[in-house]
Structure 1
Amino acid sequence: MYTNSRENEVRLLKRLWAGLPTICPKCRQAELEHLHKKAKKRNVDWKCPACGEIYRTINMLSELPDS
């Protein structure tokens, strides 16, 4: 998980899927950008331009704890 709770992780996923500007939860220094800028087919992969962390939202969703 990239955040400190399941609720925050779900909030992060919702922001990314909605296309809202989202600050990197790891370094807090830059907005996340689409990983595949040219092939904007799906908004599922994001990258922080500052720290290089990659957020694969499908994986994040499958790794969420039950409660």
Structure 2
Amino acid sequence: MYTDSRDREVWLLKQLWTGQPVTCPKCGGARLTPLHRKAKKSDCDWKCPACGEAYRTIRMLKELPEK
């Protein structure tokens, strides 16, 4: 997980999937940008331009702990 709780991780996923600006939860240094810039690529992966951390939302969803 990239955050300290399941609820926070769900919030992060929702923000990314709805296109809301999100600051990197790891470093706090920059807003996340789409990992793939080409039109035909998926827009569900994000990257922090400051620290380079990649956020792959489908993987994040699969790794969410049960309540």
TM-score (structure 2 length as normaliser): 0.94
The residue number in structure 1 matching 2:10 is: 10
Q: Secondary structure of the residue that 1:3 maps to in structure 2?
A: coil
Q: Please give the per-residue CA displacement for 1:6-30, whole angstroms capped at 9, x wherever unaligned.
A: 0000000000000000000000010
Distance 1:61 1:20 in 2: 18
Total equivalences in the alignment: 67
Structure 2 residue aligned with 1:35: 35
The sequence identity of aligned pairs, in percent, is 66
Unaligned runs of 5+ in 2: none
What TM-score, normalized to structure 1?
Answer: 0.94
Does 2:41 align with 1:52? no
CA distance in 2, matches of 1:28, 1:19: 18
Secondary structure (helix, strand or coil) at the match of 1:23 reads: coil
> Which structure 1 residue ranges, 5 or more long, are not aligned?
none
Residue equivalent to 2:26: 26
2:17 partner letter: W
> Residue 55 of structure 1: SS of its match in structure 2?
strand
Deviates more, 1:8-17 or 1:33-42: 33-42
Structure 1 residues 22 and 40: CA distance shift in structure 2, 3 A: farther
Query: Which stretches of structure 1, 4 residues or more, deviate above 4 A after TM superposition?
Result: none
